[in-house]
Amino acid sequence: MNCELAHERIVLAAYGELPDEQVHELERHLTHCVECRAEREQLQALKTLAAVLPVAEPPANLVARSRLRLEEALDALPPKRWYQRLSERILNNFASLQAAPVAAVLLLAIGAGAGTLGGYEYAQERAAHAAAKAQAAAAQTQATTVPPASQVASIQSIVQQPNSNVVEVSYQEMVPQHVRGSLDDPAIRQLLMLASEDAASAGVRDDSVGLLASECRMGHSCQGTGIRDALMVALRYDRNAAVREKALKGLEPYVAEDMRVRDAVLEALLNDSDPHIRTTAINILGPVEADTSVRTVLYSVANTDQNPQIRNVSRQVLSRVPEIQ
């Protein structure tokens, strides 16, 4: 990989848009290239300082649902079969075959044979698809079902069964409804993420964010475009300090691997009104204290913050990074 391509991928990686296989390739390049490492550190520092300003974000659940629908639509597209690719190749090369009659005859004969075999494979594929669709429909009747998010008026309560992974969520449409299922159930998770944005009930938000944070701390399918987004929204905007603290602790395991989580924790350190949450944010940033953006924010807080406790904790963290001194 050359440095020009690396610079392009550094920008994509900074915003979480770089595929995993290219991330590994970029990391290998950065291991040996001092210039590109400096470029990434400067971009991360700039991104963190820019993130301090308040940004209006779409609801996390809307983003998650939109991405899920896009992925489902892409997955529904059938892959091209080998005989379809062969047919396209025949059509693309038809003009050149006019000057080679023998080759054209042979290729057309091969195409005819491929068409016969392709028809047989197509019939088998249709039969298998119909069987899979019938099985999915049968399984769907047994799975937990919830109405579309637009039809859920509010989440009324969340109760976890003692010593179990089963959660009962009561929600309201035109009349009160409730659903019961495991925390691993996508329907339950959808309702919990909706509950984390329920402005009418601090108790419901506290319960939902607490359960989502617990799932993240235990590493149970805490994807960046689902639960993590919901926790970052709660950390940034919830008015209840207890809810923000639970969201912060739920994000802790991902501060080293997810730059968006790191930025959200840095924002909490700079902007949160609760000193306890700010202190917790400093301690959570311990594993990435050598990161340029983290050091920049810690250095600023250690020298200019009005809270002496925050200044002292920041200085203690900075003391473990000799190059900052």
108 within domain boundaries? yes
99 within domain boundaries? yes
* CA gyration radius, the chain: 27
Three state DSSP letters for the chain: CCHHHHHHHHHHHHCCCCCHHHHHHHHHHHHHCHHHHHHHHHHHHHHHHHHCCCCCCCCHHHHHHHHHHHHHHHHHCCCCCHHHHHHHHHHHCHHHHCCCHHHHHHHHHHHHHHHHHHHHHHHHHHHHHHHHHHHHHHHHHHCCCCCCHHHCCEEEEEEECCCCCEEEEEEECCCEEEEEEECCCHHHHHHHHHHCCCCCCHHHHHHHHHHHHHHHHCCCCCCCCCHHHHHHHHHHHCCCHHHHHHHHHHHHHHCCCCHHHHHHHHHHHHHCCCHHHHHHHHHHCHHHCCCHHHHHHHHHHHHHCCCHHHHHHHHHHHCCCHHHC
CATH classification at residue 235:
1.25.10.10
Among the candidates 12, 27, 51, a domain finishes at 51
Let me know whether 77 and 213 are in one domain: no
Let me know whether 91 and 233 are in one domain: no
pLDDT at 170: 84
The C-alpha atoms of residue 156 and residue 192 are separated, in whole angstroms, by: 11
- Write out pLDDT tens, residues 192-223: 888 887 767 778 888 888 888 888 888 777 77
Residue 214: give the domain boundaries.
Answer: 149-324
pLDDT band at 84 (very low <50, low <70, confident <90, very high): low
Let me know whether 162 and 39 are in one domain: no
276 within domain boundaries? yes
Q: pLDDT at residue 2 above 80?
A: yes
Q: Which two tokens stand for residue 298?
A: 């810690």
257 within domain boundaries? yes
45-280-158 Cα angle (round to 5): 110
Let me know whether 179 and 40 are in one domain: no
225 or 282, higher pLDDT: 282
The pTM score is 0.47
The C-alpha atoms of residue 175 and residue 27 are separated, in whole angstroms, by: 53
Let me know whether 171 and 320 are in one domain: yes
Question: What residues have CB less than 8 Å from 303, skipping those under 6 apart?
Answer: 311
pLDDT at 139: 46
Let me know whether 163 and 250 are in one domain: yes
Let me know whether 97 and 161 are in one domain: no
pLDDT band at 53 (very low <50, low <70, confident <90, very high): low
92 within domain boundaries? yes
Q: pLDDT at residue 120 above 90?
A: no
144 within domain boundaries? no
pLDDT band at 278 (very low <50, low <70, confident <90, very high): very high
Instruction: Provide, rounded to the nearest whole percent, the portion of the chain with pLDDT above 70.
Output: 68
Q: Do the Cβ atoms of 213 and 250 come closer than 8 Å? A: yes
Let me know whether 171 and 307 are in one domain: yes
Q: pLDDT at residue 324 above 70?
A: no
pLDDT band at 320 (very low <50, low <70, confident <90, very high): confident
How many domains does the chain fold into?
Answer: 3
Let me know whether 222 and 171 are in one domain: yes
Please state whether beta strands 166-172 and 176-182 pair in parallel, antiparallel, or not at all (unpaired). Answer: antiparallel
Q: Do the Cβ atoms of 206 and 242 come closer than 8 Å? A: yes
Let me know whether 213 and 264 are in one domain: yes
Query: What strand order describes the sheet that includes 154-160?
Result: 154-160, 166-172, 176-182
pLDDT at 6: 84
Among the candidates 108, 135, 162, a domain finishes at 135
Let me know whether 46 and 69 are in one domain: no
143 within domain boundaries? no
Which candidate, 308, 215, 290, 311, places its Cα nearest to that of 254?
A: 215
Among the candidates 106, 135, 164, a domain finishes at 135
Let me know whether 130 and 169 are in one domain: no
pLDDT at 98: 47
pLDDT at 116: 55
Q: Which amino acid is at 276?
A: H
pLDDT at 274: 92
pLDDT at 95: 42
140 within domain boundaries? no
